Structure 1
Amino acid sequence: MKKLFTLSMLFVATALFAQEEATEKKLSISGSVDAYYRTTFNDAGLATTDPGTAFAGQTGFAVGMGNIIASYESGKVGAVLDLVTGPRGAGATFSNDIIDGIVNQAYAYWNVSEGTTITMGRFNTFLGYEVIAPAANFNYSTSYLFSSGPFSHVGIKADFTLSDDMSLMLGVMNPWDTNDISGTGEYALGGQLGYKGQFLNLYYDSGKNGGLGFEIDYTGGFDLSDDFFMGINAAYNTNDATKDGFYGVALYPQLATSDNFSIGLRGELFQPTFDGKTDGIEAITAFTLTGSATIENNLIIKPEIRLDSSKGRFADADGAASDSLMAFTLATIFSF
């Protein structure tokens, strides 16, 4: 009897210990710091002539962004606080923060089941191929498609794992990322359907009060070999309120030449529209060749040459209208 009691107590203690392990609280800290040097070859050196999309448009030495991410998890629930500073962070966050451009993400989540997660707060957008943090992008400067869409959303979303290959996300948010609150009572709808690493994204708001309107966006890519990857982004946007819009496509071929070095090209065609038409609006082409060298896992060095072309959009060394702008950038990104 004593042996049976002892075994029972051992079983209970083991169960309680397993339960305690299952609800173990975990705090993790991560982030990145990046800086760069940039020079142009054929322009007047004016900020107004630089591509508004670059997020790396300073001349000379400059800081890009520093961010620190605190993630806390306890059982099925958790929270993430992502703080940023620097020009890149300020350019991609809300303008009505307590301190302008400091909160990138701030959300809580609940893993309702093995295949369902509900998230509420501010989270980075599901649209587009690229993201705000340069450590997660292959190219250091960003595309026109990335800069023309939203960067983050404030709202609630539900992520569903439908199968090993398929996922679904549905969300309700404040309109676009210019609105930290919804003072007009208007909300946006978003959705994402994923299949084997390919994603179809949909977003809609009325376009009023600085909204984005309607956008459909495809992001994905394919491993063409063990060392060669082709990324793809295509998007179409229209806004009934402002009549502005755009469409475009970007290809991202990337070749790994060794364990520590890769080279990639982003080729992009971006066409702004007005009232659904392109009359008198020149398309923009941009080619960005980037090398990526990893130093001891944490430090990445990225030399980059970028050529933007569009009739009369830029300025030459004398300040006259120019059809192109070429720049060289050397960036360093440290992640922890």
Structure 2
Amino acid sequence: MNQNTNLIMKKFLSIVMVTILSLSYNNTFAQEEESSAPALSISGSADAYYRAVLSGGTNDASDGSSLAPSTSFANQTGFALGMANVILGLEGEKSGFVADLVFGPRGTDAVFGSTTASSSIVNQLYAYWNVSEAVTLTIGNFNTFLGYEVISPTANYNYSTSYMFSYGPFSHSGLKADITLGEASLMLAVLNPTDATDYNPTGDYFFGAQLGFGGAYLNTILGDDFYQVDLTAGWDLTDAIYLGVNATKAKDNFTGAALYVQNSFSDDFSLGIRGEYFKDEGVGAIALDENVIDLTLSANYSVGALTIIPEFRMDMLSYDGFVEDNDGWDLTDPDDPFLINPTLSKSLSSFTLAAVYAF
């Protein structure tokens, strides 16, 4: 092998080594880039329940008797469906999105403000930008920041919902800024009218704000001749006992307050009670200027990702407002004595057994 051949071979080996190193670097960079790229996440839930009226109403409302209290979601009798919930998300370092889809009766009730068939399954749909470590901007449709309870049964301890939740806002569409202020937090928002999630039908806008500190949140929405002010808070009193608080005032609509107490007996079993006072000031949940007390005792038993929730609930009105079961009603006969003068009750009690699976 002559000197020229050796020189050519050295140059060739040098080229090969440079190529291998280059490919190795590019591949490593690509892998690092790929591993740092945001991945699509899929989560959600499915729920179903059995519900029976124990007293003060009926399990067959075909005769006009009271079937359930006038609150949202868990309001059927017999075996009934909640909803299937699928949440798609992409969380990047600087930006991301959430598409939260709901199917079933609970989902339909939750998005009652939707105006088109395609948007009737959209519970939330928003994109966000982390402007800095302290500021995040979000635009789109997101569930309300007011109140203690939420739409998804996975985030509520009690399966049935309160009056304050049922007659407060469910969702908003708008632009909000979440700001971290040391140990405190501040949210400011410009919003469509409440539950107008597809678009703004009136051209009016609401202002929303939330101030949080130490487990307590002061929330408000302000609009043309309307306001709602709401306080939510929650604390772990001990390793086993939790206390939640909600108080709210919606102008010309309602005033209410509730306590939530839960005790964990093990990692898989706990008991909790909700006590709520609600006064109707024009929203139409019950009779005007009357009130109702809701006492709900629930157990949560976890089997992996499945939570089984047996629940006893008593709704007590300040007046005779629940129509008891009156066998023999004839709604086609205007002179039927039961139709003219039905038997009324101040209270309605019910039992619910729910199953909620989260993934």
Q: Tell whether the structures are fold-level matches, with TM greater than 0.5.
A: yes
C-alpha separation between the residues in 2 aligned to 1:320 and 1:214? Answer: 38
Distance 1:22 1:196 in 2: 36
Deviation at 1:87, TM superposition (A): 1.1
45-54 or 300-309, which deviates more: 45-54
* 1:51 maps to 2:58: no
Task: Give 1:227's match in structure 2, choosing from 232, 237, 240.
Answer: 240
Could you say which structure has the higher helix fraction? 2
Partner of 1:325: 348
CA distance in 2, matches of 1:124, 1:287: 26
> How many angstroms does 1:142 deviate by?
0.3
**Superposition RMSD in Å:** 2.7
CA contact (8 A) 2:280 2:287 kept: no
Deviations 1:104-160 (A, max 9, x none): 000000111111110000000000000000011000000001011110001110001
Matched, 1:33 2:46: yes
SS in structure 1 of the partner of residue 320 of structure 2? strand
Instruction: Give how far 1:185 is off.
Output: 1.6
Equivalent runs, 1:291-310 vs 2, <5 Å: 291-296=299-304, 298-310=305-317
Any residues of structure 2 matched to 1:24-103 within 5 Å, and which?
Answer: 24-42=37-55, 43-45=57-59, 46=61, 49=66, 50-93=68-111, 94-99=113-118, 101-103=120-122
Say which SS state the counterpart of residue 231 (structure 1) adopts: strand
Q: 2:271 aligns with which of 263, 275, 286?
A: 263
8 A Cα contact 1:25 1:74, kept in partner: yes
Distance 1:274 1:152, change over 3 A: closer
Q: Does the CA-based 8 Å contact 2:153-2:159 persist in structure 1?
A: yes
1:23 Cα deviation after fit: 4.7
Query: SS of the counterpart of 2:296?
Result: strand
Larger Rg: 2
Q: 2-side partners of 1:44 and 1:333: how far apart?
A: 25
Q: SS at 1:146's partner residue? A: helix
State, as a whole percentage, how many aligned pairs show the same letter: 47
The 5-angstrom pairing of residues 182-193 of structure 1 reads 182-193=200-211
State the AA in 1 paired with 2:232.
T
Letter in 1 for 2:186: L
Decide which structure has greater strand share.
1
User: Residue 99 of structure 1: CA displacement?
Assistant: 3.6
Structure-2 change in CA distance of 1:109 and 1:179 (3 Å):
closer
Task: Report the alpha carbon displacement of residue 25 of structure 1 after superposing the two structures with TM.
Answer: 2.0
Q: Which residue of 1 aligns with 2:153?
A: 134
**2:127 matched to which residue of 1?**
108
Structure 2 CA distance for partners of 1:194 and 1:280, relative to 1, 3 Å = closer
Residue range with higher mean Cα deviation, 47-56 or 131-140: 47-56
Q: What letter matches 1:224 in structure 2?
A: L
Report the CA distance shift for 1:18/1:179 in structure 2 as closer, same or farther (over 3 A).
Answer: closer
- d(CA) in 2 for partners of 1:75, 1:13: 22
Shift of 1:280: 6.1
SS at match of 1:56: coil
AA partner of residue 172 (structure 2) = H
The gaps in structure 1 that reach 5 residues or longer are 208-212, 239-243
Residues 54 and 349, structure 2, Cα contact 8 Å, conserved in 1: yes
Quote the Cα distance in structure 2 between the aligned partners of 1:263 and 1:290: 6
Q: What is the TM-score when the length of structure 1 is the normalising length? A: 0.88
- For 2:212 and 2:50, locate their aligned partners in 1 and report how far apart those are by CA, in whole Å: 37
The one-letter amino acid paired with 1:221 is: G
C-alpha displacement at 1:228, in angstroms? Answer: 0.2
Give the secondary-structure state (helix, strand or coil) at the position aligned to 1:90. helix
SS in 2 for 1:184: coil
Hey, which bits of structure 1, 4+ residues long, moved more than 4 A? 12-19
Structure 2 unmatched runs, 5+: 1-13, 327-341
Distance in structure 2 (CA, Å) of the matches to 1:75 and 1:32: 26
Instruction: State the distance in 1 between where 2:133 and 2:197 align.
Output: 32
8 Å contact from structure 1 (residues 29, 71) kept in 2: yes
